Structure 1
Amino acid sequence: MARLFGTDGVRGLANGLITPHLALDLAIAAAQVLPDADVVDGRRPRAVVGRDPRASGEFLSAAVCAGLAGAGVDVLDAGVLPTPAIAYLTADTGADFGVMLSASHNAMPDNGIKFFAKGGHKLADAVEDEIEARLGQDFDRPTGVDVGRITQMADGSSRYIRHLLGALPHRLNGQVVVIDAAHGAASDVSPEVFSLAGAEIHVIGARPDGLNINDGYGSTHLDKLKAAVLEHQADIGIAHDGDADRCLAVDADGNEVDGDQIMGILALALRDRGALADDTLVATVMSNLGLLQAMEREGIKVVQAGVGDRYVLEEMRGRQLSLGGEQSGHVIMLDHGTTGDGVLTGLMLASRMAQTGRSLADLAGFMTRLPQVLVNVKGVDKDRADSDEGLQAAVRAEEEALAGTGRVLLRKSGTEPVVRVMVEAPTQGDAQAAADRLADVVRDRLTLA
C-alpha cells in the first residue's frame, strides 16, 4: 500500500481522497502521537488549527477540530490564515502541535492536511509513519471534563502581523507595491502588513469565495500581476500562492523575478548585515546554474539539497544555516520562521529595495539565468535511470559537449513513472536540443514492457 503522507502532508481531491472521515481519523491519530509524553501539568494538550479559504476547508477543518477535541486536545481555531502563520502560532502559543488544511498552489478541488510539531516544525518521516500506523485504531476515549474544548483564536492574525513587522529591517515608505494574493489565505494579511510597513499598495486576487483560489491569479499565474504593476507604475509586484508559503516577484518593467533571484538578493542582504550563517545559502538541485555562479563570485557557498522544501529545511537545520529555498519561491529564513513564508519573503525583498534605493531589476542583475528546459518523460521504468549504462553514457556526452557552460540533471519522480530531464545551456535552442536528445534516449532505454 502506498504511503499516505507525501512530501508535504496528505494531499488530494477533497471528498475524494481527503474526506471528513480521513480528516477525523488523522486528527485522532495525531492526538495520540504528537503531544509530549510529559504533558501532565494538569492541562490537556493544545493544538492550533488553520486553513486556506477553499470551500472544502470548512468541513475538513470542522472534522479535524472534532477529532482533536474528541481525543482530549484543546483546539485554538485560527481560521483562515497562511500556512507559515499557523507554524508561527504553534510556536508562539506553546501549543503541542499545529494542523493546516491546504493544498497550497493546487487548484480548488484539492485539499490537504499537514501537521506541525511543537515549535512549529514540520514532522519527520518517522513521526508521519507513526500517525499513519495509528489510523483507525481503538484508543481510550476521554469523557466528561477530559474532552477537549474548541476556542476561536481571534488574535491569530494580529499576532502574526506583529511578528512580521518585528522582523522587518527597513520600512517601505514611498514604495508602490502590487500584491496578488491568489484569492488565498493571505488575502487579508498581506495587504495589511505591507500597508503597515509604509508601502502604497494595490491589491489583486484578494477576494476569496471558496471556489476561486489559485484560479488565474497567484504565483503560478503572473500575467495579471505583470499588467497591474505596469498599470500602477509600481516598484514591485508580489505574488503568493494559495497558502502563502511562496513568493515570486515582478519588477517595475513587468519582468518575473524567480525564487533563485530572490534567494540571491536576500543572501547578499543578510551577508551585508552579518546575518547569513556561515556565508552559506541552501538551494536545490533545480536551482539555476547562474545562481551558483553568482554566489561563488560573491564568496557565498551554496549547499544543494533534494527538491522539496523539507529537504532544504533538513540541510538548514542540520548545518545551522539561516537561509534556503527553491526556485518556485519557497524561501525559508530560519531566524524568523520555521517554514517558507511568502509574506515575509516579499517584505524582506521590498525592504532591501528601500534600504539600498535600488530597483528590483538592478538587485536581480547580480545573476544571469541560463536558459533551462525541463522535459518529463512518462511511462518509463524510472528505477533504472541511475543504473542504465547507455543512458548514463548519453548524459556524460551531453555534459562534455556543454564543457562547463551548462549542466544536465536527470531526476526520478517520487510519485509517477516519470523521469525528468533538465538541461541548462548558453542558449534556449541548445538547452532544448540536448533535453530532447536525452528524452529520446530515456524512452528508448527505459520504456515499460
Structure 2
Amino acid sequence: MSINEIRDAVLSGEATPEDYAHIPLPASYRAVTVHADETGMFEGLETREKDPRKALHLDEVALPELGPGEALVAVMASAINYNTVWSSIFEPVPTFAFLRKYGRLSELTKRHDLPYHILGSDLSGVVLRVGAGVNKWKPGDQVVAHCQSVELEDAAGHGDTMLDPEQRIWGFETNFGGLAEIALVKANQLMPKPAHLTWEEAASPGLVNSTAYRQLVSRNGAGMKQGDVVLIWGASGGLGSYATQYALNGGAIPVCVVSSPQKAEICRAMGAELIVDRNAEGYRFWSDPATQDPKEWQRFGARIRELTGGDDPDIVFEHPGRETFGASVYVARRGGTIVTCASTSGFMHEYDNRYLWMNLKRVIGSHFANYREAWEANRLVQKAMIHPTLSRSYGLEQAGQAAFDVHRNLHQGKVGVLCLAPAEGLGVSNGALRDRHRSEIERFRDV
C-alpha cells in the first residue's frame, strides 16, 4: 500500500524529494470524521453530557483533489483543540454549515462540502505534493501547519489576514483537517518543523501557541510589556500554558489560575510563582445559573492583590468565557485590558458594565493569529524559547477518547494524536538542541 510506502519513506530519513514525488498517492486514507446525518444525536443533553467518543469516527475517505496553491501532507501527528470538541458535540452549531458556505464560494471549494467532516487544526508531517504556483515548499519538506485559511482576494485581509472576509479555521470551518493520515492545506499554512522536537511534540503547539501569541504579545492583542501583571485562567491548559510561557519570557508577572494541586505544580515548573487554585480556595462566581456573586469577584480581587503586593492585573487572559468573564472585568486594573477568545464555558458573557466604563477598561476580542504572528510563534518554538506542553498522546483510533479528555478537562497542556507515526519519540533531527532543553520539553509529562 502507498500509505505504508509513505510511512516507510518518512521513517527512513533517507528519502529524497524525488523519492517522495514518485511514491504513488493512495486513492483513500484514514481520517477522524463527524457525520452530517448524526448532528442531532445529542439533542436534549447538557453540554457536559455530550460524549465526543460517540460522534467521532475513524473512516476510510477519498483523497481530495489538489488545487493551485495547496499541498498534500503526510500527517505524522496531530493534536486535539477545543474546536475538535465543539465539532464532535455539534456546538454551537454543526460544522456542516461552515462547509456548505465554503462550498458555495467556488468550483474548487465544492470539495469541502461533504456528508463527512475531517477534523483537526494541527499537524506535523512531510509534504507529499504541491499544487500549481507553490514555490516555497517541495515534496519531502518536514513541516507543521498553522490553521489560518484565507483567500486573500479582498483588500481587508492584506494588513491583517485575520480580517479577510473569507478567513476560516482549517479543520473546523474547512474540510480535510489534520486528524488523518493525509491532510490538504493551503501552502501558505506551512511552516518549518522544529528540528529538536518529536512528531507529536511538534504538532501540539500550532493553534494554541499562535493564539496565545496574538492574544497576549501582538499589537493586535494586549501588547504585553515588561512588568505587566497578567492574570491567566487555566494556566496549565492548552492555551494557558503558552500564555504563562509568554508572560515569563516577556518579563511580565503571571498570576496563574488553576483547578488542582497538580496543575499548580506544572505552573511552578514553568517558573510561575503566583498561583490561585480556584477549587481549593472555593471560588464560586455564580450563586445560581442566572445570578453572579459580586462578593466572590471582590474576594478573588483581594487574593490577587495579596499575591502581587497590591497590584491589580494589567491584562486578563480570558478564554473560559461565561463562567469567569464577570470576575475578569471586575479584577482588571483601572485602564486595564481583558483580552478574550474561545469561551469554553459559554459564549453569552455577562458583566457589570460600571466596572468597565467607569474604570476605562478595554475588552479586546482575539481570534487565532495572522500569518506573521503564526510564523513568529513557530520561530520561538524552533529556537527553543517556547516549549511544547504535550502531556500524552493517543493513536488515531483513540481520537474520541482524546477529545473526551479535553471536553472533561481531564488533561494537562495539550493532548496529541499519532497519525502515521507508529510510536512516540520519533522525528528528532537536532538532538543537541533537544538535550539542552529536554526537561522543559518534557515537563508536562513529568507531573
What is the TM-score normalised by the length of structure 2?
0.32
What is the TM-score normalised by the length of structure 1?
0.32
| Higher relative contact order structure (alpha carbons within 8 Å, sequence separation ≥ 6) | 2
